[in-house]
C-alpha cells in the first residue's frame, strides 16, 4: 500500500477512475429520468456521491485494479473489474437498505450505474491497451490504418497454443518487423478457421502453394511437440518453399535452460563483431561509379561477389566480372540478373596470370575503375603450396596493375589483408609484396590504393561457417589456441570499405577501418554456441588443436614505419608509408630493386622451390620471419 502511494502513476489512475465514477453515477440518474433529473434526486446524488466514490475506489484497489499496467490489460483484469463493480454496487445497495430502506431512491439507478461503471472504467483500460497494440498504433483504428508494406509476411506452422502465443507476441510487439498472413496445420478441423482473425490456410503438404499465393517472406515453425519424423517433414516442406524458416522451441525447454531464448531467431554474424557495424558514406561512392565501366577480379568469391552486388546499385555503365572459378562466376552472374535485373555485365572466365588474355580484356572493355579482389587467402594451404601464393597473388596482381596503368584506368583498388602486417606466413608476405608493387607503380596517372581489413565473418575460409557446421553436427568446435584473437567485420562492411577507398584515395594510400577491440576466437565460439541454443563445454565441447603452420596469436593492422592519418570519414584511417622507399632513395630505384626481386620469386615458384621462395620473401619483406613448414612437393 505504502509503495503504491509513492508512485505517481497510481495517483493519476486513481483520479481518472474517480472522474469516471462521477460520470457514470450522474449518467445513471440522467438516463433514468430521460435527461430531466428532479431536484430531490439531484440532492440524493450530491449527498451520496461523497461516500459512494471512496467505496468504489476502495473496491477497485481491493481487487487489484491498480497493480497491473493498463497497456497490458487482459481478460483476467476485466474479470477483476467485474468483481470490483459488483462488490461496490452490493455495498452501496446494502448501506442504503440498512440506513433509509431505499426510501426516496430509484432502484434502477444503481443497476444502470453498475453497467456504466464497468463500461467506462473497463473501456478506458481497454482503450489504452488498444493504443499500444500494434494493429492500432499507427492510426488508432484498424480500418483506417495504412497497410504496413515494409513488414515481412510471415506464415506460422502450427495453429495450436504455441502458434497462438507467437501470433500474439508478433501482434503486440511493434518492434518486430512481421505481419502474420496465416497458419498451416494438419488438423482438418482447423482448416478455414481463424485465430485472432488470422486464417488457417492449409496443411503442411500445401505449404509451397500457400507460401507462393500469399507472397510469404518467412516461415516460423511453432510445433514444439513435433517428433523427429514430423519435424523432418515440416522442414522438407519449408525448404521446398525457398523462403527462410525458423523454429520455435517449447517454453518448457527455455525455462529449464535447455534452449536459449536467442535460439528463436537465426544467428546474426553482426552479434559476434564486438562493435557496431560501421556505416559508410555512399554519396562519395556514387560520384565515381555511376555510368562507369567497372572491372572486378575474383568476382565469384565472397568479397568479389558482394562487391558486385553493391556496385550494381550505383548504376555503372557496365560491370565486368572476371574470375577463374566457373561455378562462382556463374552464380554471381545469375544473381545479378535475377535479383537486380542487371543485364549490363560481362562475365569473363580467365586466369589473371595469362598476360595476353588480361591485355585483351582491358583493350576490349576499357574499364574506368578496377577492384582487384582475386587472391588465395587460406594460410595453412599456402604454407604447403607457397609457389601458388607467388603465382596467384603476386604475379596476377602485377599483371593486372601493369594493364591498368597501360590502359589509363582512373582508379585501382587492391584488396589486401591485416596478415600483410609483420607477416608470419607466406600468404601475408605475398600480400605485402603486392602492396609494395602497387607503391612502386605510383605517379603514372592511375590512382592506385590498397585497403586492409581483418577477418570477414561468413566469407570462404572464415572460421564462422566452420563453427556452424561443427555445431550442427553436435561438436566438437575446434579452436587453434585459447588466446588467439582476430579483428572481424561483415562482408557488406568490408565491401563498402573497399568502395569508399576508391572515393577517398589520391594514390599510394593503404586504408584501414577502425576495427575496435580484437575478439578472442574462443569467446566467439562460445557466443556462437549460445546463440545456437546450446551450452558451451556441456552440450558442445570446444577442443584446442594448436596453432597451424604460419598462424600467429595476434593480428595487426599497421606495420613499422607507417603513420596514421585521418580521412574525411571518422571511422576510416589511412596509412602513409615512409618516404625512404625501403632504403632505396627514390621510387624509381625502389621499383627497379623490387622488380628484380619479384622476377627471382617467379623463377623460384616455377621450380616449386618452397625454401627459396620463403628466403626471397624475407629479402623483400624483412619483417617476415619464415617458418619451416613442409610443402606438398
Q: What would the DSSP string read from start to end of 116-157?
A: HHHHHHHHHHHHHHHHHSTTTTTTSSTTTSPP-TTSEEEEEE
> What is the model's pLDDT at position 273?
52
**113-162 pLDDT, tens per residue?**
889 988 888 888 777 766 665 454 444 444 434 445 567 888 999 888 88
Beta pairing, strands 572-576 & 510-513: antiparallel
CA distance 115 to 208: 50
Low-confidence stretches of the chain (pLDDT < 70) are 1-8, 67-74, 129-150, 172-175, 225-229, 232, 248-281, 342, 443, 454-462, 487, 514-517, 530-533, 549-552, 554-571, 576-583, 585, 629
Based on the fold, state whether residues 161 and 122 are members of the same structural domain: no
Q: Is residue 193 part of a domain?
A: yes
SS3 288: helix
Burial 421-447 (b: 16+ CB within 10 A, else e): bbbbbbbbbbbbbbbbbbbbbeeeebb
Residue 521 lies in a domain: no
Question: Are the C-beta atoms of residues 530 and 271 closer than 8 Å to each other?
Answer: no
119 and 183 fall within a common domain: no
Q: What is the pLDDT of residue 144?
A: 39
Domain match, 177 and 324 both: no
Total of domains in the chain: 3
> Residue 76 catalytic?
no
Does any domain span residue 91?
A: yes
Give the other-Cβ count within 10 Å of 554's Cβ. Answer: 11
Q: What is the widest separation between alpha-carbon atoms in the chain?
A: 119
Q: From 236, 266, 296, give the residue that closes a domain.
A: 266
- The answer to whether residue 500 is domain-embedded is yes
Angstrom CA distances, 85 to 3, 31, 49, 55, 64, stand at 24, 19, 15, 10, 12
Averaged confidence pLDDT in the chain: 80
Q: Please, which residues bridge with residue 456 across strands?
A: 489
The confidence score (pLDDT) of residue 261 equals: 39
CB 166 within 8 A of CB 221: no
Do 127 and 188 share a domain, yes or no?
no
Same domain, 188 and 320: no
221 and 121 in a common domain = no
In the set 377, 419, 431, 520, the catalytic residue is: 419
In a domain, 591, yes or no: yes
Domain that holds residue 101: 2-132
Q: Does residue 221 lie in a domain region? A: yes
SS3 at position 513: strand
Asked whether residue 236 falls in the same domain as residue 333, the answer is no
CA distance 272 to 495: 18
Kindly state the cell numbers that stand for 223.
510445433
**Do the beta carbons of residue 403 and residue 604 sit within 8 Å?**
no
Residues 6+ apart with CB under 8 A from 213: none
Nearest Cα neighbor of 497 from 557, 550, 428, 441 is 557
Whether residue 66 lies inside any domain: the answer is yes
Same structural domain, 199 and 229: yes
Instruction: Say which CATH number the domain at 571 has.
Output: 3.40.50.720
Backbone angles phi, psi at 217, to 5 degrees: -95, -25
* Residue whose C-alpha is closest to residue 159's, from 210, 229, 209: 210
**Contact predicate 214/207, CB 8 Å:** no
Q: Is residue 99 part of a domain?
A: yes
Amino acid at each position: 500500500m505504502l509503495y503504491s502511494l509513492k508512485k505517481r502513476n497510481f495517483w493519476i489512475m486513481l483520479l481518472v477512475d474517480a472522474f469516471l465514477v462521477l460520470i457514470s453515477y450522474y449518467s445513471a440518474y440522467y438516463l433514468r429520468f430521460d435527461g430531466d433529473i428532479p431536484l430531490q434526486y439531484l440532492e440524493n446524488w450530491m449527498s451520496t456521491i461523497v461516500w459512494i466514490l471512496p467505496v468504489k475506489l476502495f473496491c477497485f484497489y481491493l481487487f487489484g485494479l491498480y497493480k497491473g499496467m493498463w497497456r497490458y490489460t487482459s481478460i483476467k483484469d476485466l474479470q477483476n473489474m467485474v468483481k470490483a463493480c459488483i462488490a461496490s454496487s452490493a455495498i452501496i445497495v446494502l448501506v442504503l437498505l440498512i440506513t433509509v430502506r431505499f426510501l426516496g431512491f430509484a432502484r434502477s439507478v444503481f443497476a444502470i450505474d453498475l453497467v456504466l461503471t464497468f463500461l467506462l472504467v473497463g473501456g478506458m483500460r481497454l482503450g489504452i491497451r488498444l493504443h499500444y497494440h500494434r494493429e492500432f498504433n499507427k492510426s488508432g483504428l484498424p480500418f483506417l490504418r495504412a497497410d504496413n508494406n515494409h513488414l515481412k509476411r510471415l506464415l506460422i506452422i502450427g495453429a495450436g497454443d504455441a502458434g497462438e502465443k507467437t501470433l500474439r507476441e508478433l501482434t503486440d510487439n511493434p518492434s518486430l518487423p512481421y505481419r502474420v498472413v496465416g497458419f498451416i496445420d494438419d488438423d482438418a478441423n482447423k482448416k478455414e478457421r481463424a485465430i485472432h482473425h488470422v486464417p488457417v490456410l492449409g496443411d503442411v503438404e500445401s505449404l509451397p502453394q500457400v507460401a507462393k499465393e500469399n507472397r510469404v517472406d518467412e516461415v516460423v515453425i511453432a510445433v514444439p511437440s513435433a517428433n523427429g519424423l514430423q519435424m523432418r517433414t515440416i522442414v522438407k516442406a519449408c525448404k521446398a518453399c525457398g523462403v527462410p524458416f525458423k523454429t520455435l522451441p517449447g517454453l518448457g525447454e527455455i525455462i529449464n535452460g535447455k534452449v536459449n531464448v536467442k535460439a528463436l531467431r537465426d544467428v546474426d554474424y553482426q552479434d559476434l563483431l564486438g562493435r557496431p557495424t560501421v556505416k559508410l558514406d555512399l554519396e562519395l561512392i556514387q560520384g565515381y561509379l555511376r555510368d562507369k565501366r567497372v572491372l572486378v577480379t575474383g568476382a565469384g568469391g565472397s568479397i568479389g561477389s558482394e562487391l558486385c552486388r553493391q556496385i550494381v546499385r550505383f548504376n555503372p555503365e557496365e560491370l565486368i566480372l572476371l574470375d577463374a572459378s566457373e561455378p562462382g562466376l556463374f552464380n554471381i552472374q545469375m544473381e545479378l540478373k535475377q535479383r537486380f535485373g542487371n543485364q549490363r555485365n560481362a562475365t569473363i572466365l580467365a586466369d589473371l596470370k595469362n598476360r595476353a588474355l588480361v591485355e585483351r580484356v582491358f583493350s576490349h572493355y576499357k574499364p574506368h575503375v578496377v577492384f582487384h579482389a582475386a587472391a588465395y587467402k587460406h594460410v595453412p594451404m599456402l604454407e604447403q603450396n607457397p609457389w601458388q601464393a607467388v603465382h596467384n597473388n603476386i604475379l596476377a596482381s602485377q599483371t593486372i596493375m601493369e594493364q591498368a596503368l597501360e590502359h589509363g584506368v582512373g582508379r585501382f583498388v587492391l584488396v589486401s589483408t591485416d596478415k600483410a602486417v609483420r607477416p608470419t606466413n607466406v600468404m601475408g608476405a605475398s600480400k605485402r609484396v603486392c602492396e609494395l608493387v602497387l607503391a612502386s607503380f605510383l605517379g603514372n596517372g592511375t590512382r592506385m590504393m590498397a585497403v586492409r581489413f581483418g577477418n570477414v565473418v561468413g566469407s570462404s575460409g572464415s572460421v564462422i561457417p566452420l563453427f556452424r557446421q561443427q555445431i550442427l553436427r553436435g561438436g566438437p568446435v575446434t579452436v587453434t589456441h585459447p588466446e588467439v584473437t582476430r579483428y572481424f567485420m561483415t562482408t557488406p562492411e568490408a565491401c563498402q570499405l573497399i568502395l569508399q577507398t576508391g572515393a577517398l584515395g589520391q594514390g599510394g594510400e593503404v586504408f584501414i577501418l577502425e576495427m575496435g577491440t580484437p575478439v578472442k576466437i574462443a569467446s566467439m565460439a562460445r557466443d556462437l554456441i549460445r546463440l545456437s541454443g546450446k551450452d558451451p563445454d556441456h552440450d558442445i565441447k570446444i577442443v584446442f588443436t594448436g596453432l597451424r603452420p604460419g598462424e600467429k596469436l595476434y593480428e595487426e593492422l599497421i606495420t613499422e614505419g607507417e603513420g596514421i592519418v585521418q580521412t574525411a570519414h571518422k571511422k576510416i584511417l589511412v596509412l602513409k608509408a615512409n618516404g625512404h622507399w625501403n632504403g632505396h632513395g627514390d621510387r624509381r630505384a625502389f621499383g627497379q630493386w623490387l622488380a628484380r626481386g619479384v622476377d627471382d620469386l617467379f623463377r623460384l615458384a616455377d621450380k616449386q622451390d618452397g625454401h627459396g621462395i620463403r628466403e626471397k620473401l624475407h629479402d623483400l619483406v624483412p619483417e617476415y620471419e619464415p617458418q619451416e613448414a613442409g610443402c606438398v612437393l
